[in-house]
Amino acid sequence: MAGVASSSRQRSKIAPYLMILPALVYLAVFFVVPFFSLARTSLSSSGGSVFMPTLTFSWDFGNYLDAFTRFPDQITRSFGYALTATVVCLLLAYPLAYVIAFKAGRYKNLILGLVILPFFVTFLIRTLAWKTILADDGFVVSALGSIGLLPSEGRLLSTSWAVIGGLIYNWIIFMILPLYVSLEKIDPRLLEASKDLYSSNTRSFRKVILPLSMPGVLAGSLLVFIPAAGDFINADYLGSTQTTMIGNVIQQQFLVVKDYPAAAALSLALMAVILAGVLMYTRALGTEDLV
Partner 1 sequence: MAKEIDPRLLSQFAAARTSRRRFIGGSAAAAGALALGGSFLAACGSDDKPSSTTSAAPDDGSPASGTLRISNWPLYMADGFVAAFQTASGITVDYKEDFNDNEEWFAKVKEPLSRKQDIGADLAVPTTFMATRLHTLGWLSDISDAGWSNKGNLRPDLLEASVDPGRKFSAPYMSGLVGLAYNKAATGRDIKTIDDMWDPAFKGKVSMFSDAQDGLGMIMLSQGGSVENPTTESVQKAIDVVKEQKDKGQIRRFTGNDYADDLAAGNVAIAQAYSGDVVQLQADNPDLQFVVPESGATTFVDTMVIPYTTQNQKAAEAWINYVYDRANYAKLIAFVQYVPVLSDMTEELNKIDPGLASNPLINPSKATLDKSKGWAALTDEQTQEYNTLYAAVTGE
Site residues (vs partner 1, CB under 8 A): 49-52, 71, 73-74, 122, 124-125, 128, 131-132, 135-137, 153-155, 157-158, 232-233, 236-237, 239-242, 244, 248-249, 251-259
Q: How far is the CB of 261 from partner 1 (least distance, A)?
A: 13
Alpha helices in 172-255 (DSSP H): 173-184, 188-196, 201-204, 210-230, 233-238, 246-252
Q: Which is nearer to partner 1, 45 or 240 (CB)?
A: 240
CA 71 → CA 66, 153, 249, 270, distances in Å?
Answer: 8, 24, 8, 11
Written in H, E and C, the secondary structure of 44-77 is EEEECCCCCCEEEECCCCHHHHHHHHHCHHHHHH
Q: Which is nearer to partner 1, 127 or 204 (CB)?
A: 127
Q: How far is the CB of 236 from partner 1 (least distance, A)?
A: 4
Q: Which is nearer to partner 1, 78 or 244 (CB)?
A: 244
- For 52, how many CA atoms within 13 A lie in the half-sphere containing its CB? 0
Q: Which is nearer to partner 1, 12 or 241 (CB)?
A: 241
Under 8 Å between Cβ of 178 and 291 = yes
Q: How far is CA 98 from the centre of its chain?
A: 21
Q: How far is the CB of 21 from partner 1 (least distance, A)?
A: 31
Cβ-based neighbours of 288, under 8 Å, separated by 6 or more: none
Q: Which is nearer to partner 1, 202 or 241 (CB)?
A: 241
Q: How far is the CB of 139 from partner 1 (least distance, A)?
A: 13
Q: Which is nearer to partner 1, 180 or 232 (CB)?
A: 232
Q: How far is the CB of 181 from partner 1 (least distance, A)?
A: 30
Q: Give the residue among 164, 170, 173, 174 at the shortest CA–CA distance from 80.
A: 164
Q: How far is the CB of 50 from partner 1 (least distance, A)?
A: 4
Exposed / middle / buried, residue 146 (Cβ in 10 Å: 0-12, 13-18, 19+): exposed
Q: How far apart are CA 181 and CA 93, in angstroms?
A: 12
Q: Which is nearer to partner 1, 24 or 121 (CB)?
A: 121
Q: Which is nearer to partner 1, 79 or 94 (CB)?
A: 79
Written in H, E and C, the secondary structure of 78-128 is HHHHHHHHHHHHHHHHHHHHHHHHHHCHHHHHHHHHHHHHHHHCCHHHHHH
Q: Give the residue among 254, 262, 256, 232 at the shortest CA–CA distance from 71.
A: 262
Q: How far is the CB of 65 from partner 1 (least distance, A)?
A: 17
Q: Which amino acid is at 250?
A: I
Q: How far is the CB of 83 from partner 1 (least distance, A)?
A: 21
